[in-house]
Amino acid sequence: MASKDSSECSVSVTIELGHQASFLSVPSPEGFTHDWTVFVRGSEGSRLEYFVEKVIFRLHETFKDPVRALSESPFKVSECGYAGFILPIELYFKNKQPPKRIMFEYDLFLNAPGASPINNVRLEKLRFKNPTPEFKAKLLKAGGKVIEGSDVQGVSSHLSEKREKKRGPKPKHDKDPKMEKVKKKKKKSESLSSLSSLSDEDEDERPV
């Protein structure tokens, strides 16, 4: 039987969720006013694909083919639109044991007329307690850091922290009835989400 010191370890890896958005010089025939791109990537150039099997972006239902599943890097989606919305993003891990997936709710907001283009990045720190040797190796390849010994006690599978970096003040969403439905759905799903976004200052551990 392995000793407690050898079995207890945690691997922490940081990922980035973000988006860019800018006004179109001329609105499209459909009435779209913005170009935007949303993405998930490894922090500081690390390669997310080492431990992530696929990423699913669940766009608003008004988009054609709103569920976008990507199984290879770069994990990003580019579209045109006229209003911001809450975008669920799911990550599926290359892990044979739980946890096998995690979901984030991402605020895809658009810049107001005359404002600077959006360039937003949100950091999410994932902490895996006692991963299998195979999955641990994948996390380390993706830039993960090992925490061993007493520091591991009581640590949840994931630790999330939110830090946003953006140019200029965050604009209010355009008032659109279809988008308001998404906000209502978000409130109902907050208690069910396995991992939710935190405020800029807050930090918490949440089990999956």
Q: CATH number, domain at 177?
A: 2.60.40.1970
CA distances from 162 to 11, 87, 186 (A): 19, 16, 18
pLDDT at 7: 61
Structural domains in the chain (count): 1
Report pLDDT digits (tens) over 121-172: 999 999 999 999 999 999 999 999 998 753 433 333 343 334 444 433 444 4
**Tens-place pLDDT, residues 24-50:** 989 998 899 999 999 999 999 999 999
Residue 143 lies in a domain: yes
Average the pLDDT over 89-116 and give the result.
95
Other beta carbons less than 10 A from residue 195's beta carbon: 22
- The torsion defined by the Cα of 165, 167, 172 and 178, in degrees rounded to 10, comes to -70
* 15 occurs within a structural domain: yes
In a domain, 202, yes or no: no
Rounded Cα distance between 142 and 125, Å, is 13
Contact 48, 40 (CB under 8 A): yes
Query: Considering the domain boundaries, does residue 198 fall inside one?
Result: no
Exposed e or buried b for every residue in 82-106, given b needs 16+ CB within 10 A?
bbbbbbbbbbebebeeebebbbbbb
Residue 84: inside a domain, yes or no?
A: yes
pTM for the full predicted model: 0.71
26, 33, 35, 51, 96 from 29: Cα distances, Å:
9, 10, 14, 41, 47
Question: What domain range includes position 14?
Answer: 4-184
What does the pLDDT read at residue 113? Answer: 87
Could you tell me if residue 204 is inside a domain?
no
Task: For residue 199, tell me if it sits in a domain.
Answer: no
How many Å apart are CA 27 and CA 162, to the nearest integer?
Answer: 33
The H-or-E segment that residue 185 falls in is helix 177-189
Given a cut of 70, whether residue 81 has pLDDT beyond it is yes
